[in-house]
Structure 1
Amino acid sequence: MHNRNIAGLWSIQARAFKIPYTPFSHNFWALTDPSGQVVDQIHGLAFDPKAGTTKAIGNSSHFLRVVHDPTIIWSLQPDQPTVVCTAGPESEIRERWQAALNSIFAINALNLHYPNLWQHLYKKNSNTIFNTIGQIMGYSQPAKLLPTLAPGIKLVVSQDIIDLYCYKS
């Protein structure tokens, strides 16, 4: 595992958005091209069913959703904790990334509720999505990749979904 992109190769990165005024982070996945540009992202976010929009922070009236969106810019911070988990030719990296994309519908179909703020230490949240998606992409311990405090990161959404969609090299 490296902390920066490897020139000329595509990569999958674990990244952490430092939550302002707290010691905590929101961990997410980024796909980068050979120049190091983020071309895709996978996050766990709150989804407000009334407004039909995602939110960085939600409550129990919202759903916990996997969001695949290359245009999320708020999450990209200068000097954020980043670890290159896999680097290689585009086809190889996209095959692993695709395993994660294939699982999104199944995870979102669980209709999990987003936790209230005080429940993040013991209920499934966005960092649980990070852990689950990481395991689907074939990383055995996503919770240990980044040196961050990420409540919920040791939980998984569904072991059955991990087993069903897990990337096989």
Structure 2
Amino acid sequence: METFIDIVLFILLVCTALAVVRTQSLFATAMLAGAFSLLSALLFVTLDAVDVAFTEAAVGAGISTVLMLGTLALTARFERPPSHSPVIPLFVVLVTGAALIYGTLDMPSFGDPNAPAQVHLAPDFIQRSPEEIDVPNIVTAILASYRGYDTLGEVAVVFTAGIGVLLLINGLRHRRRRKDKEDA
């Protein structure tokens, strides 16, 4: 059942990505990008990466969507037709995708019990966490202690993005107030 859910989420991600590429409405593109981030967060949850899912939902779906909508308020509502051929960007994307796929060919299979993370890291964390950290949940011990700086960095990114959104919204309000005063 879990594999079925993962496949459905991947299919929805691909469909959403294709819809983002094909639509001409910038508002629809911003909304679809937010939906793509939420689908990614759901996929991370099914893969037991809840911390990454939370960050993706907060930054990808929340803050990025608000920033795109704020930018959309300052620009046109529809995309202009491109003035150049899309062949070179398509070629660059295909070469980059091929390089990324080639780079993952030597990775262990998903869930492989003989993967380095399962053989070297996991037993070490399971053994040392109760003694060193004294937190009963090993995932919490890893996130709060061993990866403490990484988690602090994620929190700082989310906080900074939130402050940026608040400043953007505040700037848009002042700009509209000035424009209303000039029009009056």
Q: Same fold (TM over 0.5)?
A: no
Q: Which has the larger radius of gyration?
A: 2
Q: Which has the higher contact order (CA 8 A, sep 6+)?
A: 1
Higher strand share: 1
Higher helix share: 2
The TM-score by the shorter chain falls in which range? under 0.3
Query: What is the TM-score when the length of structure 2 is the normalising length?
Result: 0.22
